[in-house]
Structure 1
Amino acid sequence: AMYGTAKSGLFTFVKGLALAGAPYGIRAFCVTPGPVMTRPGMAGMKTLLNTQAEPQEVVDYILYLCSDNGRCVTGSNHVMDCGRLTMKPQ
């Protein structure tokens, strides 16, 4: 329950930052990664795409969002979980 509350609070905070920063050209967003290959045990985590993100893939996506290519993105949450949340609970 505490995790969900904190996560919801973060999403609301990001939206507030986006609203406050927009007049100044400041953007805000949140990236929510799913399984990331940071340790050997992560390899067994099931995802819809049957893979997990590499740390560099998460970094590259964040850099994209921060670049001029992501200039139309603000106030949103970006889920990078290889479809894990789309799967049926087991």
Structure 2
Amino acid sequence: WYAQKTQRTGINTECKYLLLQHAFETLDCIAVEFRTNFHNRPSRNAIQRLGAKQDGILRNHRIDDHGNLRDTVVYSILNSEWPTVKTSLQHMMKR
């Protein structure tokens, strides 16, 4: 989680780039998964900007802090997609 003042500053992009690079290039992961609350539109948008694809929605997946059931959106980036995602993220960080 990032403080609101750091959101949309490029910090998320650079952090995720480094984590994805480590996952795919060091750990040889097959896929990296992201999950977020269905109603958290800023988080969903940030994940999509990374190049992750939506895999699905887990309905009534979790109980939130208020005791309500929530839906979780699942995204992923596959190792076969990493070269394209990597190039895109590098261009985004140059701006």
Same structural fold, with TM-score higher than 0.5 when normalized by the shorter chain: no
Q: Which structure's residues are more often helix, by fraction?
A: 1
Q: TM-score, normalised by structure 1?
A: 0.31
| Largest Rg, 1 or 2 | 1
Q: Which structure's residues are more often strand, by fraction?
A: 2
Q: TM-score, normalised by structure 2?
A: 0.30
